[in-house]
Structure 1
Amino acid sequence: MATVPTPSEAHGGATPTAADVEMVEASELRRRGKPSGDRVPGPSRDGAAAAAEEAAAPSVERVFADRPVPSWREQLTVRAFVVSFFLVIMFSVIVMKLNLTTGIIPSLNVSAGLLGFFFVRLWTAAIERVGLLRQPFTRQENTVIQTCVVAGYDIAFSGWIIGFLFLVSFIGLFGLVPLRKVMIIDYKLTYPSGTATAFLINGFHTPHGAKIAAKQVKKLGIFFILSFFWGFFQWFYTATDDCGFHKFPSLGLQAFQHKFFFDFSPTYVGVGMICPHIVNVSVLLGGILSWGIMWPLIAKKRGDWFSADLPDGSLHGMQGYRVFIAIALILGDGLYNFLKMIILTAFSLRSQIKKKNASTLPVSDDSMVTTTAAVSYDEERRNELFVKDQIPWYVAYGGYAVVAAISIGTVPQIIPQLKWYQILVAYIVAPILAFCNAYGTGLTDWSLVTTYGKLAIFAFGAWTGASHGGVLAGLAACGVMMNIVSTAADLMQDFKTGYLTLASPRSMFVSQVIGTAMGCVIAPCVFWLFYKAFDNIGISGSDYPAPNAAVFRSIAILGVDGFSSLPKNCLNLCYAFFAAAIVVNLIRDLVPKKVSRFIPIPMAMAIPFYIGSYFAIDMFIGTVILFVWQRVDRAKADTYGPAVASGMICGDGIWVLPQSVLALAKVKPPICMKFLSRRTNDKVDAFLTTLGK
């Protein structure tokens, strides 16, 4: 881990506390970030190394030793869920916009934890002034809010029908609950994102951490306001889809035609500041390779490789190359990492079993002695409280069986192409896949949710067949599998956060259930708002092309119709890029880390293949801003960078709400700002002069 000045050193030189140390560690973990559904791997450590590192670190729990831990019921407060409800709405709007524009969704856990802390502190401060405060705000309650909010806005990524979501989103919560002690305490899986969030929340609830949090909120608020009003200002110049700053040919008209331009989006500048540098560089390289080199060359084959009469958006023409080559990269990357995760999980489990067996050593024929490593004060305290509020095994298994039975009987009523026995098979297989994903996420912080979804598309689409609605069945099965696998991994991350903040597993589970219920209602409502307010949802080249929807639908078509649906030579190119993704990943894993951090990530490179490079330029500008800031003042960049980025993302994202209301009210922007070449402009001037005569 890189050496970083503590927040106290950066602000006044006060003696650093344990919380200061933890906040620095949190900033280091946060800085590694993650894009979209398949996360970029963070640091991974085995249990012994983690225990040794923790034993050497200052004790966090001694800092909080004089504060009583509230019961699990006291952690579930009305104010926590009121704040969570409004934050779920805000973050669902943001995630929906990101999902419908480029599909890159950074980690917003930091923003959720920070804003939850800020709003409840405002609430408690106001009540305390009038002498009505009955329960102080604790880190456990802060953890409940963060868990509820993340569970709610995660739904916006994976589904948009209320009934369907209620039937499939909860089952993943029950599948791995009985294994929480094994994965958190026995195997000591690190879950870097959950650990970073816990360090952040622990830091907030110390006097010095509260001061830092107040400054972070101030930065977030400033950039929230600037970003919101920038969106408002831009709106006046967008009378039609081809008008406005987001169509500014900043790199020239020819580059603009190949999707290379800066579109003045605070959202993706902020995303670039949150995502790791290598992700942003990979996205830009993917855009250059596809829109700068490959697509212009393939376009010259029009009339030979594909019919010249086909529209640009046809999957049998140019669009087919864009979509299916991107899919080949994604599948190659996903398959490699899936197999890698299975192997890592198998070896790690084998190692854990050997360790467990080795911990019991025979002393004589009739006596045994068990050797255990020394347990730190923090670990002892956390273990004690984590196992205190048990979730009975019959609640977990019974809940899974009941929800599965209801889902098996009702989902076919919503989607007739998916039969009851297919859902039954999915629910039998899902816990195994959920365990693999949750275990792999604990090792590497890399969740392969979309990979499992794509496997479900191929398996269930081919099983159903084209003549019986295989495309729709595959997509529905993908939704079922993604919800189960994703929810299980997220819940285990939350258990890790709760373990490190002494939040009860019961309160974590209940907050996840409530957050999921909120998301099942809020996410479809937010999608309906977008769908009604903007006419071009899902159309290639529009402001909201919904790239994930296009890619998943194309995978379903490929799985059902086979390779016959591909244009000429597309299959050969797909083979090449599929193999290239595997080779690049293999090289990344074999070379030293100091070299591998400069090798691009195939999954990130594939994203601009379909939609263009405009957002890649925004993200690259964001990464340059953060890179320079880190060189000038690393401590401030790590402390305030996520807050600045979150403010830019939130402000621009929330502007969508008033923009949607204006669109629904049929209020149109008054000005069209458009950019023409000099030759075209001369023709327009001549035409207008003719009209004037």
Structure 2
Amino acid sequence: MTFQSVFRWFGRRGQSTVHQVDQDGQKEFTFRAVALGLIIGCLLCFTNLYFGLQTGWISMMSLQSALIGYLMSKFLPTPITAQENIVLQTTAVATGTMPLAAGFVGILPALGLLEEDRDGTPPVHLSWIASVGWSCAVAFFGVFLSPPIRKQVIIEEQLAFPSGTATAQLISVLHELPPPDTTLRQRRGYTELDTEETLNDELSPVEPTELERLHEAAKPEPEGWSSLTWSFLASGIMTLGAYFFPVIFSVPLFGNYLAKQWLWTFTPSLSYIGQGIIMGFPTTLSMNLGMLVGWGILSPISKHAGWAPGPVGDMTSGARGWILWTSLAIMCSDSLVSLGPVISEIVYKKLLRRSISLEDEEDKEDKEVEPDDRLVPMKWVIWGLSGSVVFGTILVWMVFGNEGIKPWATLVGFVMGGLLSVLGVRALGETDLNPVSGLGKISQLLFAWIQPGNVVANIIAGGVAEAGAQQAGDLMQDLKTGHLIRASPRAQFYGQLIGSFLSIIVTTTAYTLYNRAYQIPGPSFPAPTAYVWLGLARLLRDGDLPEKSNVFMLAFGLFFGLVSAIKTYASQRQRWYAKWIPSGVAFAIGFLNTPSFSIARLIGGVVEYIYYRQVGKENGGIRLIIIASGFVLGEGVVSVISLILRTFGVGVASCWGCAHGMCGGCPS
């Protein structure tokens, strides 16, 4: 069966298997939409797991999923409709983001770092079936939490959700629909966000006057498919070449001494460049500023002052472990301060509800535009939330036992997850940033008080709370897209459930294979966020910090708290310079990862900035997104081939050029 015949088969199945149609009678929840969404989602799942274990950074890729799904549908007898594309990208996102939602890039590696002498418990390494149980425990809570949150933040408050809005506008262009109405009703307490000031500048919604020109840039589908294919192949070939000749991805750019002693290498990965394009220049600039401060200033200071006497790359006694604490302070400070406006808005509404004008009182009537048969029934939500909490608590107890975490503590973790999800979703809706790292830390702080001394319980409970906030936020962007395109929320809900279910198996299997073939955390997959989770849990238990690190934590925490407040203020008032104020989370990521991960992303950010300045988004913006997506997917997918080769004992072909000892697969 040929590639094209497979897609034609999907097309016939999609035409004959219709579970739900939109209000105009168009097919919506179809086999082909879900099948394509699962295919793309599985690719994203491998990609996000691969890069999450390397850098701690993953991407929803909702816009890219919609774009790739549209291109793939050109092989079908009948292209997918806009509503099918919504279901497709919703399913893909639910499938692709499980590595972060279920903690495979942070929680599980952190449990593997436990030390019996220090933590009172040996390292926890879950089997495949235990990992499936853990994933099932946290995979569906955020999905069932989404419908009631959607009602409040999308229908009632009409928050911006800039990335979801951008995806809706892209889909309207691809499917030649009128531009969606993105007018936000002004409410007291906040002003409408200028979505061009968001984190990912290239995802900004376009003006209606640009839609025709943008469509012409996206119109030649064969060229778009060709761009995706060639960028995918280029990245995949380079990745496979780097497996056999590791020096390709570990270039001693500043000489062998800095590479070996101070970890200054360069990874010319096309996928990293693609990620930089997707992140945008302001974000990659913040990341590289953090890299310069962390690895160029604080790392040498801590080493030469004797505060971090071990090898620079050692996470316990070396400079890398020392600057980790400053990174943690920055992330917590930035995330917590960014929640300020959200919390104040909630308090404002509760305390001053009586002062709402008559016009706002009239606005309180139900603004839902979808009929009941296209919405998720509330009884489903109630049963789903109850079942996911009860069965999730039982599964966590079965996996970790009483010594790991008490059932009542897991239950509290789910409650915390629900409360923190509301804060995270509101922050995401207004700023396009979901501060899940800070929300997880809030949960860890609580459990340090209610179950003191138990490092395992602290990490697990934090992971339970973070999973709900992460998943609800990601899915809310998709629901915003569906709302603007008038897709069925119930059809999206089905896609979310199916994608989450499949991703449990895919993510668990992929992580198990990676764990067998590589040391995690280790040279190839350092899993930096695992050290953040474990480090905070230990700090909350015994209060021990590396020498002098508390001074730098306080100074950087206060400074970036102020920076975050200024950035939030400027964003709310639509100031042009808001996006150029450093992002604290991106700055901290520059500390967590070695320079090799940041430099290539800066190249991508610079390419994105120059390209849009010279060409303009309306004359080729979609093609740049296609190429960047191909770069990212190419390495993520071909990494599976590398994993298989390593599993069967196929080693590198040559260690030439690896004298600096920083090449994965080569002896030091």
TM over 0.5: yes
TM-score tier by shorter-chain length is 0.7 to 0.9
Alpha-carbon shift at residue 406 of structure 1 (Å):
1.8
Match for 1:115 among 56, 68, 84?
68
Kept in 2, the 8 Å contact 1:344–1:440? The answer is no
Alpha-carbon shift at residue 587 of structure 1 (Å):
3.3
Question: 1:543: which partner in 2?
Answer: 524
Match for 1:561 among 527, 530, 542?
542
- Once the two structures are superposed, the pairs formed by residues 117-196 of structure 1 within 5 Å of their partners are 117-125=70-78, 137-159=80-102, 160=104, 161-196=131-166
Which residue identity is paired with 1:96? Answer: L
Q: Distance in 1 between matches of 2:310 and 2:622?
A: 55
5+ residue gaps, structure 2, are 1-20, 105-130, 178-214, 661-668
Alpha-carbon shift at residue 272 of structure 1 (Å):
0.9
Alpha-carbon shift at residue 286 of structure 1 (Å):
0.9
Match for 1:579 among 558, 563, 569?
558
Alpha-carbon shift at residue 165 of structure 1 (Å):
1.3
5+ residue gaps, structure 1, are 1-66, 126-135, 239-243, 361-369, 374-378, 678-693
> CA 1:532 to 1:123, structure 2 compared with 1: closer, same or farther past 3 Å?
farther
Kept in 1, the 8 Å contact 2:339–2:423? The answer is no
Verify: 1:222 aligned to 2:223, yes or no.
no
Kept in 2, the 8 Å contact 1:537–1:546? The answer is yes
Q: How many equivalent pairs are there?
A: 568
* Structure 1 residues 497-531: Cα deviation after superposition (integer angstroms, max 9, x where no partner): 11112211110111111111111111111111221
Question: 2:59: which partner in 1?
Answer: 106
> CA 1:609 to 1:440, structure 2 compared with 1: closer, same or farther past 3 Å?
closer
Q: Distance in 1 between matches of 2:369 and 2:319?
A: 60
Alpha-carbon shift at residue 545 of structure 1 (Å):
0.4
Question: 1:611: which partner in 2?
Answer: 593
Kept in 2, the 8 Å contact 1:408–1:424? The answer is yes
Question: 2:643: which partner in 1?
Answer: 660
Match for 1:409 among 394, 403, 422?
394
Which residue identity is paired with 1:148? Answer: T
Secondary structure of residue in 2 paired with 1:75: strand
Verify: 1:253 aligned to 2:223, yes or no.
no
Alpha-carbon shift at residue 427 of structure 1 (Å):
2.9
Secondary structure of residue in 1 paired with 2:374: coil
* Structure 1 residues 268-290: Cα deviation after superposition (integer angstroms, max 9, x where no partner): 11111111212111111111111
Which residue identity is paired with 1:652? Answer: E
Question: 1:622: which partner in 2?
Answer: 604
Alpha-carbon shift at residue 599 of structure 1 (Å):
2.5
- Once the two structures are superposed, the pairs formed by residues 45-124 of structure 1 within 5 Å of their partners are 69=23, 74-124=27-77
* Structure 1 residues 321-370: Cα deviation after superposition (integer angstroms, max 9, x where no partner): 1221111111111221123332244446778885574345xxxxxxxxx6
* Structure 1 residues 551-589: Cα deviation after superposition (integer angstroms, max 9, x where no partner): 111111112222x2x122111121111112112223334
Kept in 1, the 8 Å contact 2:71–2:224? The answer is no
Q: Distance in 2 between matches of 1:166 and 1:229?
A: 35
Q: Distance in 2 between matches of 1:529 and 1:428?
A: 33
Which residue identity is paired with 1:413? Answer: M
Q: Distance in 1 between matches of 2:53 and 2:469?
A: 22
Secondary structure of residue in 1 paired with 2:219: helix
Alpha-carbon shift at residue 317 of structure 1 (Å):
4.7
Q: Distance in 2 between matches of 1:613 and 1:352?
A: 50
> CA 1:648 to 1:420, structure 2 compared with 1: closer, same or farther past 3 Å?
same
Kept in 2, the 8 Å contact 1:326–1:609? The answer is yes
Q: Distance in 2 between matches of 1:372 and 1:339?
A: 25
Alpha-carbon shift at residue 426 of structure 1 (Å):
2.6
* Structure 1 residues 649-690: Cα deviation after superposition (integer angstroms, max 9, x where no partner): 11111110111111111111221122559xxxxxxxxxxxxx
* Structure 1 residues 27-83: Cα deviation after superposition (integer angstroms, max 9, x where no partner): xxxxxxxxxxxxxxxxxxxxxxxxxxxxxxxxxxxxxxxx974669x5222222222
Question: 1:324: which partner in 2?
Answer: 325
> CA 1:399 to 1:162, structure 2 compared with 1: closer, same or farther past 3 Å?
same
Kept in 2, the 8 Å contact 1:386–1:499? The answer is no
Q: Distance in 2 between matches of 1:372 and 1:611?
A: 48
Which residue identity is paired with 2:653? Answer: P
Match for 2:304 among 287, 300, 303?
300
Q: Distance in 2 between matches of 1:589 and 1:71?
A: 43
Kept in 2, the 8 Å contact 1:175–1:397? The answer is no
- Once the two structures are superposed, the pairs formed by residues 215-294 of structure 1 within 5 Å of their partners are 215-238=223-246, 244-256=247-259, 257-294=261-298
Which residue identity is paired with 1:157? Answer: L
Q: Distance in 1 between matches of 2:354 and 2:595?
A: 48
Question: 2:385: which partner in 1?
Answer: 400
Question: 1:339: which partner in 2?
Answer: 340
Alpha-carbon shift at residue 476 of structure 1 (Å):
0.8
The RMSD of aligned alpha carbons is 2.8
Alpha-carbon shift at residue 176 of structure 1 (Å):
4.2
> CA 1:675 to 1:439, structure 2 compared with 1: closer, same or farther past 3 Å?
closer
Alpha-carbon shift at residue 486 of structure 1 (Å):
1.9
Q: Distance in 1 between matches of 2:315 and 2:576?
A: 43
Alpha-carbon shift at residue 597 of structure 1 (Å):
3.3
Kept in 1, the 8 Å contact 2:417–2:467? The answer is no
Which residue identity is paired with 2:52? Answer: N
Q: Distance in 1 between matches of 2:495 and 2:25?
A: 14
Alpha-carbon shift at residue 100 of structure 1 (Å):
0.9
TM-score, normalising length: structure 2? 0.79
Kept in 1, the 8 Å contact 2:168–2:485? The answer is yes
Alpha-carbon shift at residue 311 of structure 1 (Å):
8.5
Question: 1:315: which partner in 2?
Answer: 316
Kept in 2, the 8 Å contact 1:491–1:509? The answer is no
Which residue identity is paired with 2:88? Answer: I
Which residue identity is paired with 1:266? Answer: L
Alpha-carbon shift at residue 411 of structure 1 (Å):
1.6
Which residue identity is paired with 1:288? Answer: L
Deviates more, 1:649-658 or 1:391-400: 391-400
Secondary structure of residue in 2 paired with 1:415: helix
Deviates more, 1:648-657 or 1:608-617: 608-617
> CA 1:588 to 1:254, structure 2 compared with 1: closer, same or farther past 3 Å?
farther
Alpha-carbon shift at residue 315 of structure 1 (Å):
2.4
Alpha-carbon shift at residue 439 of structure 1 (Å):
2.3
Question: 1:9: which partner in 2?
Answer: none
Kept in 1, the 8 Å contact 2:137–2:396? The answer is yes
Secondary structure of residue in 1 paired with 2:657: coil
Q: Distance in 1 between matches of 2:315 and 2:579?
A: 37
Kept in 1, the 8 Å contact 2:441–2:462? The answer is yes
Deviates more, 1:251-260 or 1:223-232: 251-260
Q: Distance in 1 between matches of 2:62 and 2:488?
A: 19
Q: Distance in 2 between matches of 1:164 and 1:372?
A: 41
> CA 1:279 to 1:371, structure 2 compared with 1: closer, same or farther past 3 Å?
closer
TM-score, normalising length: structure 1? 0.76
Kept in 2, the 8 Å contact 1:274–1:642? The answer is yes
Question: 1:429: which partner in 2?
Answer: 416
> CA 1:181 to 1:531, structure 2 compared with 1: closer, same or farther past 3 Å?
same
Verify: 1:647 aligned to 2:634, yes or no.
no
- Once the two structures are superposed, the pairs formed by residues 453-468 of structure 1 within 5 Å of their partners are 453-466=440-453
Q: Distance in 1 between matches of 2:588 and 2:149?
A: 35
> CA 1:354 to 1:526, structure 2 compared with 1: closer, same or farther past 3 Å?
farther
Q: Distance in 2 between matches of 1:106 and 1:582?
A: 25
